[in-house]
Structure 1
Amino acid sequence: MRNEQEMMEMLVGFAANDSRVRLVTLEGSRTNPNIPGDAFQDFDIAYFVTDMDSFKENDQWLTVFGNRVMMQKPEDMELFPSELGNWFSYMILFEDGNKVDLTLIPISEVDDYFASSDGLVKVLLDKDGMIKNEVIANDRQYWIKKPTAKEFDDCCNEFWMTSTYVVKGLARKEILFAADHLNEIVRPNLLRMMSWQIGAKHGYSFSVGKNYKFIERYLPADSWEALLSTYSENGYPHMWKSLFICYELFRTYSKAVAETLGYPYPDYDKAITKYTENVYRYYSEQNK
């Protein structure tokens, strides 16, 4: 596998030798000093170019970067509508295991790019001195944020109300419906609440990572094991158990946040827990 230095020299070197590319930036985790580097990090590169069409005519120019295992061009797909406007991207996995996400951006949209940046940007090449102020990458946008009282109540409301859809799906023997609501709404709000408690305890000056991937570092071992157990969904008994564990964890962490921040603890818990237990008893009787 080519190392980071080799990849960066290749990607910047191509841009340096192509007059159509005027500015190059690096984005994402490789710019974040708070994330340890590894071989699986993508190279998120943006080329700001003077002639988009000449690049998009064919893909031959990409061969200079190595042999491709697979490539995706999101803005050229019909099933998934483009979200990047005039930008055009290439997501490339190479034979040696390196992955490059390369985005072409019209040079006229430099200001828009930096205005919409999440802060994790590093300038690699600026042929025309367009960037007047120093750009220092930071992940501040992803730090845990202290919730307002309304945000806290909204999270509680969403968690408990959506859990009734999980209950309904399980009672009806519609496990995919139930799993979708558990995975897409219920558990994400549990993770949100857990991150708020972590922030309340440790401060709001760091991130727990994309998809909460670093949250294990800040959770007690029993909470971590309980959280992992909620991903067991292979059958109705496991799904019911996962839901009830989510209830227990959310109750514990939301009460802790409410107490720490001085917010009222809503009565959704009591009402929905009673509702769930009633439905579960009915379900159990019907499936003896």
Structure 2
Amino acid sequence: MILVTGATGHYGAKAIEHLLHKGVEAPYLAALVRDAAKGQPLQDQGIELRIGDYTDFESLVRAFQGVEKLLLVSSNDRGAVANRTAHHATVVKAAQEAQVKHLVYTSFVTKQGAADSAIADFLASHAQTEQLIKDSGLPYTILQNGIYLEMIPIFAGEKVAETGVLLFPAQAGKASWVLRAELAEAAAHVLTTPGHENKSYVLANTAATSFEEIAQDLSATLGKAIRYQSPPVEEFQAILKQAGVPEVYIGLFVTWASAVAEGVLEVEDSTLESFLGRKLTTTAQFLAQVYN
């Protein structure tokens, strides 16, 4: 039995889809959900629903009974980063209690010098979770996923085609953007092939891309010149505030723009490409799909 947490989210749902495509039969799949109603489409495919919550240890122990392989999709709690670490610790303890045979965790890419970066707390939470898993004695695989390509349109804004300006304070920094569905496919590969126990993999693109290059790709896709502007952070914040963007999103944009500027997301690696057995989706290809 393979159980996928966060099964109604984008990543978890794609992981299940890829597991099915790889020949795992629905009766051998389980999906952890908080709300059975949201999991109905999965149940309709013959996948067993297990009800549980990252904050409820006993519910997780029940949900993990009979599970051989567990895909722990990292918590997306919007509160303090410490909440995520606590959620993960509860899952790991429950997996121990239920005697899960193999735990696969979706972590995040990191590189030397990132401890002082804009996303230091976010990275620390993942590092702490990785250590918890290693200390648990459970056979594990850690997937250090790159930043999603799907974040680019969010950062670029809804009006980039209209204004002709890509405004984002990432300076000349680059990131190894990768398609979420391809990361989920890699998880399915790890769950269905041998030899991954007690290993950590960096899953990022083989080439990193700057926002200057993204603007060039957008120009080619839209048939219209898109200029990249990287204003000082304070100016960027003021522009967004004047446009009525909520503070929580302004903070999110600034945090990730700073991380890109610092170069901590520029982690090129060929492991994901080797797992999939094909070339990865490039930034230019992704933008052509989204904006055409």
- Sort the TM-score into its range (normalised by shorter chain): under 0.3
* Greater relative contact order, per chain length (Cα 8 Å cut-off, separation 6+): 2
Task: Give me the TM-score of the superposition, normalised by structure 1.
Answer: 0.24
What TM-score do the two structures reach when normalised by structure 2? Answer: 0.24
Rg (Cα) greater in structure = 1
